[in-house]
């Protein structure tokens, strides 16, 4: 009897150690690489856009999007990301979208749909391929947060503050409750833009 017990008990510490290590890895990964530097990108919101304007049926973010190529280059450089296309540094390429930085997007910490600005203090390079949190997951969160704001379930200022503080924690607080939708976007499906 005791021999059988020890045969089952012996691998348990190893299994628990693996589980702990896996959880620790994803916690560090999610809160390290997937969050912007708070000094470089604290988040900036517009004082001129109110909930009524942001939630209007005819509101679109496309006219507000104005991030120049030079601004994108500055942001990539400030985060230490060297974009190369055809062996030439990004300064010598004409089309940023074709650069090796296609695995990143210059993302708004507070999205334009929630009153964010195009300031370098609100922009950062976010990976499309990070796991479990990435640009696609954040896009799903942004759409969900906007829906909550427009339905009056959360104040605009609270949504903006949540995203500026830690968007991953914000995701876990507001979006993870959506069950299947949470898992669907967590693993990288694209979200249609607003």
Most confident region among 79-83, 90-94, 101-105, 163-167 by mean pLDDT: 163-167
159, pLDDT greater than 80 = yes
| 113 domain residue, yes or no | yes
pLDDT of residue 108 exceeding 70: yes
pLDDT at residue 42, as a whole number = 97
Let me know if residue 56 belongs to a domain.
Answer: yes
Is 170 among the domain residues? yes
35 Cβ neighbours under 8 A, 6+ residues apart: 166, 167, 168
For residue 63, is it within any domain? yes
193 domain residue, yes or no: no
Q: What average pLDDT does this structure show over 99-106?
A: 74
Residue 148 lies inside a defined structural domain of this protein: yes
The confidence score (pLDDT) of residue 50 equals: 93
Is residue 4, in this structure, part of any structural domain at all? no
pLDDT tens, residue by residue, 7-33: 666 665 665 555 555 443 443 343 345
Q: Based on the structure, what is the number of domains in the chain?
A: 1
Q: Is the pTM of this model over 0.75?
A: no
| 167-169-173-176 Cα dihedral, nearest 10 degrees | 80
Q: What is the pLDDT at residue 31?
A: 39
Domain range for 153 is 13-67+104-186
Is 94 a domain residue? no
């Amino acid at each position: 009897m005791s021999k059988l017990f020890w045969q089952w008990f012996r691998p348990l510490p190893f299994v628990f150690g693996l589980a702990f290590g896996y959880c620790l890895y994803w916690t560090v990964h999610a809160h390290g690489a997937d969050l912007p530097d708070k000094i470089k990108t604290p988040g900036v919101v517009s004082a001129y856009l109110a909930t009524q304007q942001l939630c209007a049926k005819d509101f679109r973010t496309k006219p507000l999007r104005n991030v120049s190529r030079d601004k994108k280059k500055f942001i990539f450089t400030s985060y230490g990301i060297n974009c190369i296309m055809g062996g030439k540094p990004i300064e010598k390429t004409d089309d940023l979208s074709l650069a090796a930085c296609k695995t990143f997007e210059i993302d708004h910490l507070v999205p334009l749909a929630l009153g964010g600005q195009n300031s370098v203090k609100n922009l950062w390079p976010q990976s499309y391929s990070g796991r479990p949190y990435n640009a696609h997951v954040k896009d799903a969160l942004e759409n969900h947060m906007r829906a909550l704001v427009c339905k009056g379930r959360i104040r605009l200022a609270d949504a903006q503050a949540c995203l500026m503080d830690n968007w991953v924690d914000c995701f876990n607080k507001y979006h993870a409750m959506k069950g299947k939708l949470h898992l669907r976007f967590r693993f990288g499906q694209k979200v249609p833009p607003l």
